[in-house]
Amino acid sequence: MVSVAKKLVLQKQKELKKTKGKKPIKKTGKSVSSKPKTISNSKAAKIVKKQTPTAPKYVTSEKLSWKAVDIPDTLDDYEGFCGLEEIEGVDVKIVNGRAQFIVKSDDKVRSQEEIKSVKTSIPEGDFELDEEDVNEDELKKSEEDHEEGDEDEDNKEDGEEEDKEVEQGEENEENEKANNEKLSSEKMKIIEKEPSKNKKKTKTVTTLTSRNNADDEQDVPTIETEQTPEEIKPKVQKPKQNIKKLQEDELLANGDAFTAAQELELPDDNINLPKWTKPIPQLSAFTLTGLSKLGFNKPTEIQKKTIPVALEGTDVIGKAITGSGKTLAYGIPIMEKAISTGNWETQDTPTGIIFAPTRELASQVSKHLQQLIKYSSLPTNSIVTLTGGLSIQKQERLLGYNPRIIIATPGRFLELIEKSTDTATKFASTDIVVFDEADRLLQDGHFEELDKILELLNNYRPKEKLQSKKWQSLVFSATFSKDLFGKLDSTKPKPEAKNNKKRKANEVEESGDAETAEVLQMLGKKLRFRSKPSFIDVNPTDVVADKIIEAMIPCGNQERDLMFKD
Ligand SMILES: Nc1ncnc2c1ncn2[C@@H]1O[C@H](COP(=O)(O)OP(=O)(O)OP(=O)(O)O)[C@@H](O)[C@H]1O
């Protein structure tokens, strides 16, 4: 006899067989009755109708609901196209020489109102536009709107990092803006041949090019299509504003140095600045043009004495008070070296690294050097400031454009070289290292960082490849008091070596008093100069002593006694 349990099992198996193949019912919050609902024939028909895919529709690009996406720093995982998000469920087909977009559902298509509103926000880039799509006024307006948008975006980015760095932030934004102009990563160019007069079919070549990477260009598909001259619409005249700059930047970014050189404004060879050229005959026409434009008709004392020595490659220790023109005293030698190197578009190592103790000073130095560099053959993104409080990613991106001059505070610089051996190796290959306001750089807070930096740079320097095993050091400070350089005490030579070292310190030219000599000796040990440094003191103590006048103050006996009372 079959047991009740077995009966139940058999019944269950039968039920399971019946339900097999049916789609499982999705669970909702509501309780689902175990009894399957019967669906009327008409309702079932409606559901079937809803599931039928819409017939494919051909639409123009403006009708698609494109969304802008940020282009990431690295393009490895980037799936967008020219800063636009890919739209799923849309196919592209070339019909009569034009790209047609085939959509399968209406939710990918914009309404007329939406199309109108997006026409005023054309994305950045040299996109060619159809005349009927937008007139010149609209184009100008959209560009202005977009510029404002850019600022907002950048401000937002910096705001996330640190608000208080306003001044420096602005300066980096300027650099970044210049770089963005120069290297807007993806570009669409439409090169069209002139339509022939005899109404023959003309070939239109559409090439997608990447400005940044010549290799990318080879991988980009070229679409050749046949078009009649009627089909080729005249291009809208782009705004003239900044066109020359854009063309120049494009040439430079593409590495077409020869054509770019022709586009560059040449320096004035007839600049007459004898007060500069007499003590410093090595100055280039670029620098002289810049100095003349800035109205700097003669060098300051520290500039006159430092620049010629530094241009010869000698290490320099300069003593000059604040506001004496130290920035150009080291800035001009770096600039001249960078200009003479020539192949800056291929060289990926910096010419000079300038260390400053504070972000404000770094920013000030950068601004000052930018003023002069703009008259040189060096590109606008030749100077990069690396300081804390600003986006490290942004700074890394700027380093990708191979700047010639790095201005840094020790903390951020150390962070970057500890993060990437590639960056450390590049920086270690520098020709010149400047320590501005050395007394402050070698005090608490910075001393340990600078110590590590020097060690890393020394270790990473690819000596076999470089002409010189050591970089040139330019050290500036308003004072060489032992109190301020106290940290160097720990690196003081051992007593037995003291006499030898003392002799070396005395060899430093015009080293002045014993205290200065001792500080210089300690500095030499820390910075490991490549040559005997030239000590240039533009405010020696005897200058101050000369200004002290002997005076007699007549006073009575009582006052005199008060004076000598201990
Ligand atoms: N040869 C020159 N002729 C005229 N003005 C100059 C000259 N060189 C520099 N200056 C101007 O002098 C000012 C001070 O220069 P700079 O900032 O280089 O001084 P500094 O010694 O570095 O001072 P600080 O220690 O404050 O940075 C700047 O405004 C700069 O534009």
Kindly write down the DSSP assignment for every residue of 370-413, as one continuous string: HHHHTTSSS-GGGEEEE-TTS-HHHHHHHHTT--SEEEE-HHHH
Q: What is the average per-residue pLDDT within 477-481?
A: 83
Q: Poorest-confidence range of 1-5, 22-26, 187-191, 455-459?
A: 187-191
| Ligand 1 center from residue 438 Cα (angstroms) | 17
Could you report the per-residue pLDDT of 495-521, keeping only the tens digit for each?
444 444 444 444 444 445 777 787 787
Residue nearest to atom 20 of ligand 1 (CA): 323
Q: What is the average per-residue pLDDT within 176-191?
A: 39
Provide the residue ranges of all domains of the chain, joining segments of one domain with +: 54-118, 124-264, 300-540
Predicted local distance difference test score (pLDDT) of residue 61? 72
Task: Check whether 376 has a pLDDT greater than 70.
Answer: yes
Task: Summarize the chain as % helix, strand, coil (round to 5).
Answer: 45, 15, 40
Atom of ligand 1 nearest to the CA of 297: 3
Q: What is the average per-residue pLDDT within 337-350?
A: 78
Task: Tell me which of 368, 373, 435 to substitute to probe ligand 1's pocket, judged by most ligand atoms within 8 Å of the beta carbon.
Answer: 368
Percentage of the residues of the chain whose pLDDT score is greater than 90: 24
Residue nearest to atom 25 of ligand 1 (CA): 322
Q: CB within 8 A of 355, min separation 6: which ones?
A: 408, 409, 410, 413, 433, 434, 435, 436, 441, 450, 453
The CA angle 526-315-319, to the nearest 5 degrees, is 80
Q: What residues flank ligand 1, with Cβ below 6 Å?
A: 296, 299-300, 303, 322-328, 368
Per-residue confidence band for 528, with pLDDT thresholds at 50, 70 and 90: confident
| Ligand 1 center from residue 292 Cα (angstroms) | 15
Atom of ligand 1 nearest to the CA of 302: 21
* Higher-confidence position of 268 and 491: 268
Per-residue confidence band for 322, with pLDDT thresholds at 50, 70 and 90: confident
Which tokens hold the place of 136?
A: 């010149």
Could you report the per-residue pLDDT of 435-459, keeping only the tens digit for each?
999 888 887 667 789 889 999 999 9
Burial 77-102 (b: 16+ CB within 10 A, else e): eeebebbeeeeeebeeeeeebeeebe
| Ligand 1 center from residue 353 Cα (angstroms) | 19
Highest mean pLDDT: which range of 105-109, 202-206, 412-416, 508-512: 412-416
What is the C-alpha separation between 335 and 338, in angstroms, rounded?
Answer: 5
Inter-residue contact 291 to 372 (CB < 8 Å)? yes
Task: Check whether 27 has a pLDDT greater than 60.
Answer: no
Atom of ligand 1 nearest to the CA of 321: 21
Percentage of the residues of the chain whose pLDDT score is greater than 70: 46
| Ligand 1 center from residue 323 Cα (angstroms) | 5
Task: Tell me which of 326, 360, 539 to substitute to probe ligand 1's pocket, judged by most ligand atoms within 8 Å of the beta carbon.
Answer: 326
* Higher-confidence position of 184 and 472: 472
Predicted local distance difference test score (pLDDT) of residue 178? 47
Predicted local distance difference test score (pLDDT) of residue 222? 33
| Ligand 1 center from residue 367 Cα (angstroms) | 12
Q: Is 0.80 topped by the overall pTM? A: no
Task: Check whether 387 has a pLDDT greater than 50.
Answer: yes
Could you report the per-residue pLDDT of 532-553, keeping only the tens digit for each?
889 998 875 555 555 556 666 6
Atom of ligand 1 nearest to the CA of 296: 3
Q: What is the average per-residue pLDDT within 19-31?
A: 41
Q: What is the average per-residue pLDDT within 31-56?
A: 44
Per-residue confidence band for 195, with pLDDT thresholds at 50, 70 and 90: very low
Q: What is the average per-residue pLDDT within 17-30?
A: 43
Task: Please state, as a whole number, how many other Cβ atoms lie within 10 Å of the Cβ of residue 8.
Answer: 10
Per-residue confidence band for 343, with pLDDT thresholds at 50, 70 and 90: low
Could you report the per-residue pLDDT of 60-90, keeping only the tens digit for each?
777 777 776 665 544 444 444 445 666 777 7
> What are the CA-CA distances from residue 491 to residues 161, 218, 459, 505, 527 (Å)?
37, 56, 19, 15, 11
Q: Class assignment of domain 300-540?
A: alpha beta
Task: Check whether 328 has a pLDDT greater than 50.
Answer: yes
Atom of ligand 1 nearest to the CA of 299: 1
* Higher-confidence position of 389 and 2: 389
Which three-class secondary structure state does DSSP give residue 427?
Answer: helix
Task: Tell me which of 273, 280, 321, 327 to substitute to probe ligand 1's pocket, judged by most ligand atoms within 8 Å of the beta carbon.
Answer: 327
Residue nearest to atom 2 of ligand 1 (CA): 296
Task: Check whether 320 has a pLDDT greater than 80.
Answer: yes
Predicted local distance difference test score (pLDDT) of residue 290? 92
Sheet holding 222-227, edge to edge: 186-192, 202-210, 222-227
| Ligand 1 center from residue 300 Cα (angstroms) | 8
User: What is the DSSP secondary structure assignment for residue 490, as one 8-state letter?
Assistant: G
Atom of ligand 1 nearest to the CA of 322: 25
Atom of ligand 1 nearest to the CA of 320: 21
Task: Check whether 148 has a pLDDT greater than 90.
Answer: no
Task: Check whether 295 has a pLDDT greater than 60.
Answer: yes
What is the C-alpha separation between 307 and 331, in angstroms, rounded?
Answer: 9
Task: Check whether 347 has a pLDDT greater than 50.
Answer: yes
| Ligand 1 center from residue 322 Cα (angstroms) | 8
Predicted local distance difference test score (pLDDT) of residue 443? 76
Residue nearest to atom 4 of ligand 1 (CA): 296
Q: Poorest-confidence range of 126-130, 355-359, 363-367, 375-379?
A: 126-130
Task: Check whether 127 has a pLDDT greater than 50.
Answer: no
* Higher-confidence position of 501 and 390: 390
Inter-residue contact 353 to 427 (CB < 8 Å)? yes
Predicted local distance difference test score (pLDDT) of residue 487? 58
Atom of ligand 1 nearest to the CA of 324: 21
Residue nearest to atom 15 of ligand 1 (CA): 325
Could you report the per-residue pLDDT of 218-249, keeping only the tens digit for each?
233 333 333 444 443 334 333 333 334 444 44
Task: Please state, as a whole number, how many other Cβ atoms lie within 10 Å of the Cβ of residue 145.
Answer: 13
Predicted local distance difference test score (pLDDT) of residue 456? 94
What is the C-alpha separation between 490 and 502, in angstroms, rounded?
Answer: 16
Per-residue confidence band for 104, with pLDDT thresholds at 50, 70 and 90: confident
| Ligand 1 center from residue 527 Cα (angstroms) | 26
Task: Tell me which of 297, 304, 328 to substitute to probe ligand 1's pocket, judged by most ligand atoms within 8 Å of the beta carbon.
Answer: 328
How high is the mean pLDDT of the chain?
65
| Ligand 1 center from residue 296 Cα (angstroms) | 10
Predicted local distance difference test score (pLDDT) of residue 426? 93
